Amino acid sequence: LQHLTQHQHRIVIDADTHASDLSTYGERPGLYYHGRPLAAEEIIAEMDGAGVDMANIWQNPAATRYPGDTAGNYAALLAANEYVYLAACRHPQRLLPSGW
């Protein structure tokens, strides 16, 4: 809150970014971007290049792998949300976490 208050007149926030724990994926497709899993740190690097100060970050619904049963789906979504939470803890002045 202090960071937002201090920079309130000149902060740029991306309202819709999606992060994924890359350790749960094999090789990512290189050319197709939409839905491609990105780590939180990759998102921050893209933000730096675009002049974005902060981002609302949440799990990537196009990249989260659901096994198809209720318990497995719950566990997959919980893990994806936990990754977002921990990324925001590592980068509190860059990432605003949201749940799905």
The pTM assigned to this predicted structure is: 0.85
Reported as a single tens digit per residue, the pLDDT across 6-51 is 878 888 999 999 999 988 877 766 666 666 789 999 999 999 999 9
Q: So what's the pLDDT on residue 62?
A: 82
pLDDT of the residue at 27: 74
CA neighbor of 20 nearest in space, from 1, 36, 8, 2 = 36
Q: How many Å apart are CA 88 and CA 81, to the nearest integer?
A: 11
For the stretch 49-86, pLDDT in tens is 999 999 999 998 888 889 999 999 999 999 999 999 99
